Amino acid sequence: MPKRVSCTHLYSGLLFETTRHTYIHTYIHTYIHTYIHTYIHNTYYTYIHTYIHTYIHTYIHIYIYIKV
């Protein structure tokens, strides 16, 4: 359940939030990237991988910035 935060918290904790975002993003990105690579390994779906990777990467960024 995403927590609700005030503007004051968002501004005063900007460094912490940014650091946490970086760690969460890196973890999720690595997990999904590894999963996709494993799933499509040795296939001819390289273009699909590129599309999905870009889409998921963008979605995660938007989702985390809104929810965190």
CA distance linking residue 37 with residue 43, whole number of Å: 10
**pLDDT tens digits, one per residue of 12-37:** 566 666 677 777 777 887 888 777 77
Domain boundaries, the chain: 15-67
Query: Which of 37, 19, 35, 29 shows the shortest CA–CA distance to 59?
Result: 29
CA distance linking residue 14 with residue 59, whole number of Å: 21
Percent of all residues in the chain with a pLDDT value above 70, rounded to a whole number: 59
Measured at the alpha carbon of residue 16, what is the angle toward residues 11 and 21, in degrees to the nearest 5? 100
The pTM is what?
Answer: 0.30
CA distance linking residue 24 with residue 65, whole number of Å: 11
| Stretch 45-51: mean pLDDT | 72
| Stretch 52-61: mean pLDDT | 82
Q: Is it the case that residue 50 has pLDDT exceeding 70?
A: yes
